A = this chain, B = another copy of it.
Amino acid sequence: VLKIEILTTGDEVLEGLITDTNSAHIAREVAPFGVVVRRVTAVGDTLEELRDALLEISARADVCVMTGGLGPTSDDLTLDALALAAGVPLAVDEGLWEEIQRIYLGRGRVPPSNRAQARVPRGGVALRSAVGTAPGMRLTLNGCEVFAYPGVPEELYWHCEQTLLPYLAARLNVALHRRTLRVCLLGESRLYDLLRPLSLPPEVRVGYQALHVEVRLKLSSPSRDALERAEALIADALNREAPGHLISHHDRSLPQALVALLTARDLTAGCAESCTGGAVSAALAGVPGASAALRGGVVAYSNDVKRALLGVRDETLAAHGAVSEACALEMARGARAALGVDWALAVTGVAGPGGGTPEKPVGTVWFAWAGPHGAEAERRALKGDRERIQRVAAHEALFGLWRRLSAGGAPREVTDA
């Protein structure tokens, strides 16, 4: 088994100013090759610490991915540490320096300090990047392949994709096919239990990444055919056991998928929100191109606004309260009329921490969806703190519309392709 370790440099990480998210990214990217990172080490910006760490790691591992320390300042010691650890000289590569200057031209004068980024330890190979100006560096140290990448996440991601994964594919002699599905409002453990009984082709690897209320399901396989069979089995199981929860075969979030679906069907939507306070609208508005589907919304936090802008009736509020089926339905119908949309979503509930009662404890949320064929309401008992209740409630509101647009079956995902 290939032994990979990660070495992270930078005082910002050790002082807690930056959380190291790069290591998790690298670990997720190499996992499909069956490779598990053995150790992650973070050290500060001193030459001795870096050299020691490089020597320790190169004695243990086959591959070392090093992040950070490739900038132009005196704190950036990665190239120096590589040369020191390898016992080789470090010299400016004039061809590389010219390239860096060319990249810089569009941004104005090249600071002379950037010349330090054109240094190459003897035996090292500079890794040109299409993102940012700092080249990466590859060097064999005690038989260990060291890949040094910039710590800026976008640059690191680029290098991972363009230089690390191809190296692993070649060294392990596998070319991987990949597919990322998105599942919403289904806990990671429930999803795991649902998929565990499936007889997936053994060469397909399944990785889980929990986002806030969605899970990213990463499939990878050396065989395209096996990948597609696994994808079909997973989609069948989900569509049977948890209809609608499989949102995308192309790594789209629920708001993204919903905006695409509404746009493709030439439908407009709007929201009437109480306890989510605008989060449903904001989630839709966060999608580029949302204006094709989202007309607007009413944040009816107070009962006055529910009455004035949504036409919720005094009798409804008096008889049932604002957190009720009747109020949710009137909010949705009122929003549909006031906003002039095809579909209106309504949310009203108790987000807490105050405001709960025995009949309507914190977490009680009523939803309603009003469309061309009438309105429907549903109630949920959500758990967690205010932030979580608001977040899940916003997602539930969107999910209710998603399910209704699918008319009983799985909604067909709309893709650009």
Contacts and interface: CB of A to CB of B under 8 A. Distances in A.
Contact of A41 (B24, B41, B277): B41
Interface string A269-300: 01101011111111011101111001111111
B288 A277 contact: no
A322 B309 CA distance: 22
B17 A354 contact: no
Contacts of A387: 286
A278 B288 contact: no
Contacts of A70: none
B14 A38 contact: yes
A308 interface: yes
Contacts of A209: 16-17
Contacts of A253: none
Copies in the complex: 2
Given A15-B28, A26-B16, A304-B295, A390 B37 contact: no
Contact of A278 (B13, B280, B309): B280
A298 B309 contact: yes
In this complex, the interface size class of chain A, counting residues with CB under 8 Å from chain B, is 35 or more
A31 interface: yes
Interface string A316-354: 000000000000000000000011100000000001111
Interface in A9-43: 11, 13-21, 23-29, 31, 36-43
A387 B282 CA distance: 11
Contacts of A15: 27-28, 31, 36-37, 207
A319 to B, nearest CB: 21
Given A298-B296, A309-B296, A36 B27 contact: no
A301 B309 contact: no
A-B pairs with lowest CB-CB distance, top 9: A277-B285, A278-B278, A16-B27, A278-B281, A16-B28, A296-B305, A297-B299, A278-B282, A40-B42
10 contacts: A8-B40, A13-B40, A14-B36, A18-B24, A19-B19, A39-B42, A278-B280, A286-B390, A295-B302, A296-B299
Interface of A: 8, 11, 13-21, 23-29, 31, 36-44, 49, 53, 207-210, 270-271, 273, 275-282, 284-286, 288-291, 294-302, 304-305, 308-309, 338-340, 351-355, 386-387, 390
